Amino acid sequence: MADELFDIYDEQLRPLGTATRAETHARGYWHRTFHCWLTRREGDRRFVRFQLRQDSKDTNPGCYDITAAGHLAAGENIREAMRELEEELGVTASFEQLIPLGQIREDASGVVNGMPFIDREVSDVFGLVCEVPLHELKLQPEEVAGVYEADLDALIALFEGSLSEVSAFGVELGEPGAPLKAVQLSVQSSQFVPRDFAYYVKVLQALHGCT
Per-residue tens of pLDDT for the chain, all 211 residues = 547 899 999 999 999 999 999 999 999 999 999 999 999 999 999 999 999 999 998 778 999 999 999 999 999 999 999 999 999 999 999 999 999 999 999 998 888 778 888 889 999 999 999 999 999 999 999 999 999 999 999 999 999 999 999 999 999 998 888 899 999 999 999 999 998 999 999 999 999 988 7
- Rounded to whole angstroms, the Cα distance separating 81 from 67 reads 14
Going along the chain from its start, the domains and CATH numbers come out as 5-207 (3.90.79.10)
Crossing angle of helices 197-207/152-160, nearest 10°?
160
Q: What is the pTM of this model?
A: 0.92
Residue 137 near residue 40, CB atoms below 8 Å: no
